[in-house]
Amino acid sequence: MIPLEKFTIHSSRNPDRVRETLLTVVEPRKIWRWYFTNPDKPYQGEIGDRAFQIVRIINYRNSFLPLINGRITPEGTGSQIEISMSLHPVVFIFMLVWLGMVGNIGILFLIAALSEGTFEPAALVPLGMFLFVCLLVFVGFKPEAAKAKKFLRELLEN
Q: What is the pLDDT of residue 44?
A: 95
Tell me: the pLDDT tens digits for 5-23? 999 999 999 999 999 999 9
Q: What is the pLDDT of residue 32?
A: 75
The average pLDDT across 107-136 equals 87
* Segments making up each domain of the chain, as ranges: 1-158
The average pLDDT across 46-60 equals 94
Tell me: the pLDDT tens digits for 84-115? 999 999 999 999 999 999 999 989 988 888 88
CATH of domain 1-158: 3.30.530
Angle between helices 15-23 and 125-156 (to 10 degrees): 110
Q: Residue 107: what are its φ and ψ, rounded to 5°?
A: -65, -40
pTM of the model: 0.86
Q: Longest C-alpha distance within the chain, in Å?
A: 69
Q: What is the pLDDT of residue 46?
A: 97
